[in-house]
Amino acid sequence: MSNGSANTPSVRVQGVHKSFRRGAEVIDVLNGLSLEVQRGEFIALKGPSGSGKTTLLNLIAGLDTPTEGEVWVEQDCISHMTEGQLASWRTRNIGFVFQFYNLLSVLTAYRNVELPLLLLPLSAAQRKLQVTTALDIVGLADRMDHRPGQLSGGQQQRVGVARAIVTDPALLVADEPTGALDAKSADEILDLLVELKTSMNKTIIMVTHDERAAGRADRIVELQKGQLVST
């Protein structure tokens, strides 16, 4: 994917509405929301349960499409892509960090990190280089043969971060990445995210309820009832 010009936002959400139908009832989750995130910016999405922050994250990550409006990531308008196009696009352009790691317990750290690369036309040697590089970045090169059950929660989340960056995506999306961690491990993961933003110019969008985690971001974006109340 093209990095575009330096002045082009990494993410543009333009007049987005998202509604869900529950029986005869239509529930509006996002109401004409617009947001820009600059390249290399780390933002935290906050808001009460039901405010729409996870829905917004899913739209930006190409996991869902808006009812109205447009979502752009770099030069790609993803809001009009088909499910197949979105699946291919996500593989190359988005890195996901989950609250509960989402690692496969039967696979080693190396194999867990390698999984996204299996969807790309890479040789075994290319995959090995990218996996070992990603594990080295998160400080787990010496744990690559360990399975998740042999790792601490903080180490498992580091594997999750390595998996998120192994395809070198422009955008990382993190849904409560410190929610299952103790304070020390949470701080280490936040340090890692800040380092990825600083040294690798990654754009990071994080949903969090944690005030300390939100405070590590460049900007806090708060949602209430499907609309932005502060940016």
Q: Which of 210, 156, 223, 151 is nearest to 183 (CA)?
A: 210
**Top-level class of domain 11-230:** alpha beta
The distance in angstroms from the start CA to the end CA of the chain is: 27
pLDDT value at residue 1: 36
pTM for this prediction: 0.92
pLDDT at 230: 73
For every one of its 231 residues, what pLDDT tens digit does the chain have, with 9 covering 90 and above? 334 445 679 999 999 999 988 888 988 999 999 999 999 999 999 999 889 999 999 999 999 999 999 999 999 999 999 999 999 999 999 999 999 999 999 999 999 999 999 999 999 999 999 999 999 999 999 999 999 999 999 999 999 999 999 999 989 999 999 999 999 999 999 999 999 999 999 999 999 999 999 999 999 999 998 999 876
pLDDT (0 to 100) of residue 3: 45
Q: Where are the domains of the chain?
A: 11-230
